Amino acid sequence: MVDFNYFAPTEVVFGSRSEEQLAMLVRKYGGSKVLVHYGGGSARKSGLLDKIERLLREGGVEYVMLGGVVPNPRLSKVHEGIGLCRREKVDFILAVGGGSVIDSSKAIAYGVPYDGDVWDVYMQRYTPVTCLPVASVLTIPAAGSEMSESSVITNEDGDVKIGYSNNLSRPKFAIMNPERTYTLPPYQTAAGVTDIMMHTMERYFSHDGDMNLTDAVAEALLRTMMECVPEVLRDPENYRYRAQIMWGGSLAHNDLTGCGRIGDWATHQLEHELSGMFDVTHGAGLAAVWPSWARYVLKCDVSRFVRFAVNVMGVENDFTDPEGTAVRGIEAMERFYHSIGMPINIRELIGREITDAEIGEMVRKCSHGYTITQGQFKVLSPEDLTAIYNLAR
Amino acid sequence: MVDFNYFAPTEVVFGSRSEEQLAMLVRKYGGSKVLVHYGGGSARKSGLLDKIERLLREGGVEYVMLGGVVPNPRLSKVHEGIGLCRREKVDFILAVGGGSVIDSSKAIAYGVPYDGDVWDVYMQRYTPVTCLPVASVLTIPAAGSEMSESSVITNEDGDVKIGYSNNLSRPKFAIMNPERTYTLPPYQTAAGVTDIMMHTMERYFSHDGDMNLTDAVAEALLRTMMECVPEVLRDPENYRYRAQIMWGGSLAHNDLTGCGRIGDWATHQLEHELSGMFDVTHGAGLAAVWPSWARYVLKCDVSRFVRFAVNVMGVENDFTDPEGTAVRGIEAMERFYHSIGMPINIRELIGREITDAEIGEMVRKCSHGYTITQGQFKVLSPEDLTAIYNLAR
């Protein structure tokens, strides 16, 4: 068991009436002029943005609006937000949306008080010492950015997608109304749950197997997500199951499921190159890569994969054949991905064969020009990364 | 599922080297003159207090010391602390110990900036608007006060034990080194785990049965605690199991296991009267009362007790006899309590028969002079409270 810090200060306000508290929460955390930052038209169409504007006006909070954040959020939009915040003297950023909007908001929050280009932060050329307060009204459960310290930004100049983590940007509050997720399309719902589960699994596949409390909580979360997703695909307006997915998304990425262990995160890195190159949905990209990662690293610790197979996937334990049990756990996950409409390889993800040149380019980026390894469960060289992409073709 | 807030901002620094960060953490959260508040001689004898004094000196943080906090912490000690803090211009309170010391520290923190008697806060005659920052170096996993907003103080003038909750007093940080719990005597270890489990069970026995994520996390926590306690009773210096108990104590009471539901808390109230009157260990008092509470309220929701029996206690589910399965779950918990040296009734707790007059007095206090009910799973009138104490004799 490794020493750990656990710090999840975000005030979560959860439920069907949670939005009513918006203006009070903004003022409580020091906001007087708010940037309302959002994505496409769905937040407007659903009436959520109108309601937020009304709540802020009635609560006496000034605001400016900035929409247009896209999945795999772009640096150019971040620059636009920084400029707007400076001109309008914004002192608080409210993200209305999912992970892309929250991540973009965090980047703006770093950038406003920094004289240089905020990309320096993501390139780790500059460590922020302050940032604007960020909070969210969550509409897509997936990224867990509403309670996390991390954000991922894509620099269109070179299709480079880079993450950065700093407790400074942990959101002050998160308003979570499960009803706001009723209109999520099935593919986005399923990809979101895949991302939620993967945030847990990246931490679960670790050699620190002596922290059973963390394992047991992670297994509880994974099993519950697998129960919930078929229910909401069948019945999109089921509050009970939508609520559990929404709360599961936060718990999966606020570090609860990582206490006492070193996470792996190779699957996320392998996927970042995929969505950087093909602009695919992050959760779907994770599903396309994970089974191949799992088969490739299995022998590093068969017992952990057996535990996963039995305690999470409900596979019968064949005590005479641990490796067979482990493989059946991976196969069960593939069947689950397929059952919710997720791909299990790159061809299913992008709709065509990937080329050797494309794999080569992704490996080059993923290894930062062959200079770094990825992963902890098995440390992956550029050759290993190539092998996994090939397994996942 | 009920709407909920989740707010657990305490920075947890966990591990065998966690204490080294003390002075940095105190300064980070604004402390320049610290009250080091502690209990009996064990913190001195173990060398912990010497280490804390050295770390604060080396870190350039001024401090004053105040020891002598006892279990079921007293209002008189709180008054003494308030006086000392005012005289010495203390701006930060560091609790070194377990729940009693942390609770006493929270009361001092409320009292220092308040002109009246801090007992007004506990009697809900005054709502604090500010309090000194509190943090802890935890040595006893049990109360969960290190991350919670609650504290319980005993006013010796009338043996009244009253709890008060306010987010203002959530500790800023908690330093948790499992090695500091190696010297806990078996009885205190077992009583601590009983308290941890009961914090989870008070929230688990609820009619909001549609939040499976919270249930599954609670069951994971309960099963893990039951695995760990025999291990540390056999091998008190086992880091792995001591660590899980320590972290379990925080997770059981930082509201994670209550998300989306209304807790019961009748067992805690029934026990507060016992420890108010007999000065017994809180965890042991809970074990003495819970089985009788459970039998008395069972019929309100047999299915919940069946779930507890099967998912937590590992009882085989007799689908033809839900009530029998439920009762076997309660009996299994009684066997577990006995196996770790805990009582299962009041006679075993206090070593003699309790009298009718004593029960009458406890019921009078527990119902605030027959004016209020207790509990949510079943709302308990004074007659119900009397019946449960009688079952538990």
> What is the per-residue pLDDT across A143-157, written as a single tens digit (0 to 9) for each?
999 999 999 999 988
B205 and B266 together in one domain: yes
pLDDT at A41: 80
Query: Considering B135, B153, B180, which residue would you say is the last residue of a domain?
Result: B180
Residue A334 has, within 13 A of its CA and on its CB side, a CA count of 18
Question: Does residue B281 come out as left (phi exceeding 0), alpha (psi in the -120 to 50 range) or beta?
Answer: beta
Contacts 24+ apart (CB under 8 A), A303-307: A303/A209, A304/A204, A304/A205, A304/A206, A304/A207, A304/A209, A305/A329, A305/A330, A307/A215
Does the beta-carbon distance from A7 to B7 stay under 8 Å? no
Which residue type sits at A179? E
Regarding whether B219 and B91 lie in a shared domain, the answer is: no
A160 — pLDDT class (breaks 50, 70, 90): confident
Q: Do A16 and B3 touch (CB under 8 A)?
A: yes
- Tell whether A234 and A265 lie within a shared domain: yes
B228 part of a folded domain: yes
pLDDT given for residue A140 in this prediction: 96
Structural domain contains residue B317 = yes
> B-side interface with A, Cβ within 8 Å?
1-9, 11-18, 210-213, 216-217, 219-221, 223-224, 227, 239-240, 243-244, 247-248, 251, 256, 259-260
Q: How far is A165 from chain B (nearest CA, A)?
A: 17
Among B1, B11, B224, the residue with its CB nearest the CB of A240 is B1
Q: Are residues A175 and A202 in the same domain?
A: no
> Do residue B14 and residue A3 have CB atoms under 8 angstroms apart?
yes
* Closest CA of chain A from B11, distance in Å: 5
Residue B175, min C-alpha distance to chain A (Å): 10
Looking at per-residue pLDDT, the higher value among B157 and A69 belongs to A69
Question: What is residue B208's predicted lDDT score, i.e. its pLDDT?
Answer: 87
Q: Which residues in chain A touch residue B240, judged by CB atoms under 8 angstroms apart?
A: 1, 210-211
Q: Are residues B221 and B121 in the same domain?
A: no
Same domain assignment for residues B149 and B277: no
**Residue A2 placed within a domain:** no
CATH number for position B162:
3.40.50.1970
Q: What mean pLDDT comes out for the span A6-11?
A: 97
Give the domain-ending residue among A135, A158, A179.
Answer: A179
Within-domain flag for B81? yes
Question: Does the structure show a pLDDT above 80 at A158?
Answer: no
Q: Name the pTM for this structure.
A: 0.95
Percent of chain A with pLDDT over 90: 94
> Does A117 lie in the same domain as A130?
yes
> What gap in Å lies between CA B235 and CA B232, rounded to an integer?
5
- A71 and A192 assigned to the same domain: no
Instruction: Check pLDDT > 80 for residue A139.
Output: yes
| In a shared domain, residues B91 and B199 | no
A4 falls within a domain? no
Mean pLDDT computed over A52-75 = 96
Residues in chain B, total: 393
* Selection from B386, B382, B358, B366 nearest residue B163 by Cα: B366
pLDDT above 90 for A161: no
DSSP β-ladder status, B150-155 and B160-165: antiparallel
Q: Give the number of A-B residue pairs with CB atoms closer than 8 Å.
A: 107
A375-A381-A385 Cα angle (round to 5): 75
CATH assignment at residue B269? 1.20.1090.10
Whether residue A128 is found in the same domain as residue A256:
no
State the average pLDDT over residues A128-134: 97
The reply to whether A99 and A194 lie within a common domain is no
Q: Is residue B5 part of a domain?
A: no
Q: What is the pLDDT of residue A291?
A: 98
- For residue A349, pLDDT beyond 80: yes
Mean pLDDT of the region A229-239: 97
Look up tokens 């920052």; give the residue. Answer: B133
Dihedral of CA atoms A327, A281, A381, A159 in degrees, nearest 10, equals: 170
Residues A93 and A205 in one domain: no
Q: How many domains does chain A have?
A: 2
Residue A357 pLDDT greater than 90, yes or no: yes
Domain that holds residue B201: 184-391
- For residue A5, being part of any structural domain is answered with no
Q: What is the per-residue pLDDT for A40?
A: 85
Is A8 in contact with B8 (Cβ distance < 8 A)?
A: yes
Q: Within a domain: residue A6?
A: no
Beta strands in chain B (DSSP E): 4-14, 33-38, 62-66, 92-97, 134-138, 150-155, 160-165, 173-176
Residue where a domain stops, chosen among A140, A160, A179: A179
3-state helix, strand, coil in chain A (%, to 5): 55, 15, 35
Q: Could you give the dihedral angle defined by the CA atoms of residues B303, B308, B313 and B315, in that order, rounded to the nearest 10 degrees?
A: 10
pLDDT < 50: residue spans in chain B? none
pLDDT attached to residue B331: 98
Region of poorest pLDDT, from A160-164, A330-334, B356-360: A160-164
Chain B partners within 8 Å of A219 (Cβ): 220
- Kindly identify which residue of chain A lies nearest to residue B3, measuring between CA atoms: A15
pLDDT tens per residue, range A203-224? 999 998 899 999 999 999 999 9
Q: Exposed, middle or buried: residue B280 (CB in 10 Å: 0-12, 13-18, 19+)? A: buried
CA distance B199 to chain A (A): 16
